[in-house]
Structure 1
Amino acid sequence: MLAAYAARLDRNDPLSALEVGERPDPEVPDGWARVHLRAAALNRHDLWSLQGVGLGEDKLPMVLGCDGAGVTDDGREVILHSVIPSPGWSGDETLDPRRTLLSELYDGTLAEQVVVPTNHLVPKPDGMSWELAGCLSTAWLTAYRMLFSNAGVSPGDTVLVQGAGGGVSTALVQLGSAAGLRMWVTSRDEARGAQAVELGADRAFASGERLPERVNAVMESVGAATWSHSVNSLNPGGTIVICGATSGDAPEKAELTKIFFKQLRVIGSTMGSLPEMRRLVDFVAREGISPVIDQTLPLGQARAAFERLAAGDSFGKIVLTTGD
């Protein structure tokens, strides 16, 4: 089968570790199912894997990819849930210290076929496009959990999204807007901020800009560069939900005094559970939300897709299709 995979690891030049070519068709263990993929989206996780973050030399070669949707051997159209718990784990799989994502321990979705546990298949709603379905498993699930499970917000509340343009950020704007939240974004790029407003954000601000009023919650994925701004932007009793730290995890100031004095909540958030995945799919279908897709390319052009992701030029998701 054709696949995009990590053939080696390179922290300084991750794209040099990427190969696009033939890999053996996967075997199907008991309790797992084969999915013939129709669409799969890229995530920053794929670049990190090529750098060796969460992926060891002993697991190579490893097919990349966490997002995906396709057709099972028995003809069911499905969306994949890619958080895989360790054997014997019960409950929320995101809390399992030995959990993995597809492409860490098991081959991922940037291929013509993938195998996953049978209970990790979510029915694709009738009429939902493959490209849309192939975007939901990672960034969109992360955004759903941040907003609806961890932020503690209600319709009419104001939510600030630090950064605009990435998969999680655009998902947050679209999900929050559909749920009746007032969504604000920050961006270093005025054009990206304007795109976020077109997408449903109520206002866009320059990174670090003083806001006209404080907000109920901040969705934080940037980390060190925006941490103080996030803390200063919150109402007393507000919540920061943090899912990543692309600018580093050591801010100049921890802001501990402001956090305890203003009684702020800081909530870590990682991916989402299978029930949340089902709710996300239902919500997207019911509200008619169409994830922003920056570019769609055939699987054979995966290198070009990775180059665009690495350059940081994309707005929304980059999707690879098998062409079937």
Structure 2
Amino acid sequence: MIAAYAARIDPQQPLNGLELGELPEPSVPHGWTTVQLRAASLNHHDLWSLRGVGLGEQDLPLILGCDGAGLDAEGNEVVIHSVIGESGHGVGTDEPRSMLSERYPGTFAERIAVPRWNLLPKPAELSFAEAACLPGAWLTAYRMLFTNADLSPGDTVLVQGAGGGVATAAVVLGSAAGFRVFVTSRDDVKRKRAVALGAEAAFEVGARLPQRVDAVLETVGEATWSHSVRALKDGGRLVISGATSGPNPPLGELQHIFYRELRVIGSTMGSKKELAALLDFCVAKGVRPVVDSVFPMRDIRHAFERMERGDLFGKIVLAIP
């Protein structure tokens, strides 16, 4: 079968390790099944894998991709929950939790094997391309907003770095839930697009906001950390799920954190239950993932190059086959 995989590790030029070619059909352990992929979406996790973060030469070749949607062995339309080992389903109880493409082959392939437990019905209202955006970035945003930020309708939330998959998801989901959403971006076009998606206002990175906010969703890291801390109300929540600009901010801002009793909360992906709730939310609210572009599998290198440049707005999707 045709698949896109990490063939080599290159921390400086990660795309040097990306290959597209024939690989063996997936093996199917007891309790697992196959999915014929129809769409998969790219994540920065895939670039980090090609850089060797969480992946070693001894693991190669390994098919990349965390998110996908397609047809199960019985022909049902399904969405794949990409966390393997949650509650021990389909793997040994002592096996650590992982994501697809870390310990097991990922979704950038014509077919994949996953535990049956990891499959959810795809709502008919969502296309395969839209559904493939949900298990990673959109589930991450859902957990940040509804589980960890502890927001109620009318509360204020700042989303740093409008344009990426998590950020656009947070704008759409937050506004649909009745939150007052502020966003930042260095790009004026992205700021305007974020407002069109439902943000109340958009600002330059680091700009003074009209008021302090109840929560900040932080995926940028070093470049926005100080602004995130200072933008919060006393007792506010700073929810972190990434650090694309770097993980070591120059100022810890500890005096603000302890004196103003701020809460710093790490957030990673989400559970199968949360993914099911996200699917229901999208159907009930008429929410649809923001798709930046769709590439055929043969053009996966161009898709990665677009994501690496950062000039996207929303999710990049692969059409399979």
What does residue range 144-183 of structure 1 map to in structure 2 within 5 Å?
A: 144-183=142-181
Query: What does residue 55 of structure 1 align with?
Result: 55
In 1, Cα distance between the equivalents of 2:284 and 2:10? 42
Unaligned runs of 5+ in 1: none
Residues 7-35 of structure 1: CA deviation (Å, up to 9, x unaligned): 11100111110001111110111011100
Q: 1:89 to 1:315 in 2, by over 3 A?
A: same
Aligned AA (1:14): P
Helix, strand or coil: the match of 1:111?
A: coil
Structure 1 contact 2–300 (Cα < 8 Å) conserved: no
Q: CA deviation at 1:86?
A: 7.2
Aligned residue type for 2:213: V
| Structure 2 CA distance for aligned equivalents of residues 247 and 299 of structure 1 | 28
Give the structure-2-normalised TM-score: 0.96
Q: 5 Å matches for 1:1-324?
A: 1-85=1-85, 88=88, 98-323=96-321
Check the 8 A contact 2:88/2:95 in 1, yes or no: no
User: Judging changes above 3 Å, is the alpha-carbon distance between structure 1 residues 242 and 139 closer, same or farther for their aligned structure 2 residues?
Assistant: same
Q: 1:89/1:24 Cα in 2 relative to 1: closer, same or farther (>3 Å)?
A: closer
Query: Structure 1 residues 60 and 207, CA, compared in 2 at 3 Å: closer, same or farther?
Result: same
Once the two structures are superposed, residues 24-64 of structure 1 have per-residue CA deviations (whole angstroms, 9 ceiling, x without a partner) of: 11011101110000000000011111111111111100100
Question: Alpha-carbon deviation of 1:98?
Answer: 2.3
Q: What is the CA deviation profile of residues 140-184 of structure 1, one whole-angstrom value per residue up to 9, with x for unaligned ones?
A: 110000000000110011100011100000000000011000110
The residue identity in structure 1 corresponding to 2:214 is N
In 1, Cα distance between equivalents of 2:293 and 2:161: 20
- State how far apart, in whole Å, the 2-side matches of 1:97 and 1:251 are: 33
For the aligned residue pairs, the C-alpha RMSD in angstroms reads 1.6
- Once the two structures are TM-superposed, the CA of residue 127 in structure 1 deviates from its matched residue by 2.7
Task: Check the 8 A contact 1:159/1:219 in 2, yes or no.
Answer: yes
User: Alignment partner of 1:68: what SS?
Assistant: strand
**SS of the counterpart of 2:55?**
coil
Separation in structure 2 between the aligned mates of residue 224 and residue 238 of structure 1, nearest angstrom: 19
**Could you tell me whether the CA contact under 8 Å between 1:294 and 1:318 is conserved in 2?**
yes
> Any idea what SS the aligned residue of 1:128 has?
coil
- Distance of 1:127 and 1:231 partners within structure 2: 39
Instruction: Give the residue type in structure 2 aligned to 1:277.
Output: L
